[in-house]
Structure 1
Amino acid sequence: MPGGRDVRATLDASDASTENVVVACPPHPQHRGHRGDERLVAVADALTEREVDCLRFDYGDWDEGRGERTDALNALDWAAERYDSVALFGFSFGGAIALLAAAEARDTVDPAALSALAPAAQIGEKHGLDAVGALYEIRAPVQVVYGTRDTTADWEPVVDRARELGCELVEMEADHFFVGQSAKVAEAVSEFLVSKLR
């Protein structure tokens, strides 16, 4: 990816020629989060089956959320130069990054839609990047998918704000990692994003 940070990515291309792409933000890099995360791959597979490409990227060196948000913005810019319509997806830390990036990118890229899976409410202890507050700044349709047994991420404030703003909510009987439910997650996320991209 372009920019001053070392960011590597994988582009999952559908068999059809498409003008639509989803940028996928991985979970926390300090907890082994990467672009090969099971949930990101499942969503990418579901998207390519629906003739939408997916750009999965790894963050550069850890920067307490600020650099990671920049990585997502750079990935959005890269995608917007090559596709007519761009959407965002993120899991856990990546869900928060997707929300923060969408809020900041609206003046340049303006994503068509965003889906956040088990998003953290805040990231970066030092900087307190507020994913909940970012929801106010996003013009695009937003979906929040969450597990009722998730005790890992502080997702409740995001869900509460999303409900208040009329965003689409998908509740699953699942833990933070949606063990055994990647296909179900991929179906819900891809169906929402594809419907907004077309």
Structure 2
Amino acid sequence: MSDPNRLPGPRDVRTTLDGDTTDRIVVACSPHPQFGGDRHDSRLRAVSDALVDRDIDCLRIDYGPWDEGRGERTDALTALEWAGERYDTVALFGYSFGGAVALSAAIEADSLAAVSVLAPAASSVEGFDPADLDAISCPAQVVYGERDDTADWQSVVERAEQLEWSVESMPADHFFISQQSRIGNLVRDFFAASLG
């Protein structure tokens, strides 16, 4: 694992890069920073560990200063640009607030290979509307907890099902206690199949 570093750009985006031997990478967007979310989140680490085991690098990001989701979307796009300059294949993952950030960025991103989100909090990113998800042309996955009453994931899941994305439910609440390994495996298998 590399030491945290700062991505070039106008905002202070700190990262940790896991793995360094492949031409494939997943940028992982952290949960809500105002509620303690950061790139060291256990769900992000589980996904990253599972990806590295499959020879897929993972760049976990912390956002710059809080900006209602707008700046955080920019941070994700900055990370995708950084990754695109160094890797042949770039994908995107996010959990909770980070899931909404990832989807919002995926709507704007060029050459994205795949996107996966866990418990996406749809209303947490200003300007994000699940109705716009049809603009995402790459393979996409949504994983959610059936007992999650924290995030408003329902509109994303409904739209994802309409678009025939991969949708996975888990018997869990928003925090997926003791299910990090299963999350890592679900997301890893999706990306391994999607990224080739």
User: Which residue does 1:33 correspond to in 2?
Assistant: 37
User: Which residue does 1:77 correspond to in 2?
Assistant: 81
Question: Which of 19, 22, 46 is the equivalent residue of 1:18?
Answer: 22
Counterparts of 1:134-149 in structure 2, within 5 Å, are 134-149=132-147
Q: How far has the Cα of 1:183 moved from its partner?
A: 0.3
Question: 1:67 aligned to 2:91?
Answer: no
Q: Deviations over 1:127-161 (max 9, x none)?
A: x3224133111001110000000000000000000
User: Which residue does 1:94 correspond to in 2?
Assistant: 98
Gaps of 5+ in 1: none
CA distance in 1, matches of 2:76, 2:177: 26
CA distance in 2, matches of 1:176, 1:185: 12
Q: Which amino acid aligns with 1:9?
A: T
User: Which residue does 1:122 correspond to in 2?
Assistant: 123
Q: How far has the Cα of 1:61 moved from its partner?
A: 0.4
Is contact 1:42-1:183 (8 Å) kept? yes
Is contact 1:147-1:173 (8 Å) kept? yes
Question: Which of 5, 16, 29 is the equivalent residue of 2:11?
Answer: 5
CA distance in 2, matches of 1:27, 1:133: 22
Q: Deviations over 1:56-80 (max 9, x none)?
A: 0100000000000000000000000
The SS at the match of 2:141 is: strand
Question: 1:158 aligned to 2:156?
Answer: yes
Q: Which amino acid aligns with 2:155?
A: P
Percent identity of the aligned residues? Answer: 57
The SS at the match of 1:18 is: coil
Counterparts of 1:32-51 in structure 2, within 5 Å, are 32-51=36-55
Is contact 1:97-1:131 (8 Å) kept? no
The SS at the match of 2:85 is: helix
The SS at the match of 1:177 is: coil
Runs of 4+ with deviation above 3 angstroms: none
Q: Deviations over 1:102-135 (max 9, x none)?
A: 10113xxx210000000011224xxx32241331
The SS at the match of 1:129 is: coil
The SS at the match of 2:91 is: strand
RMSD over aligned Cα atoms: 0.9
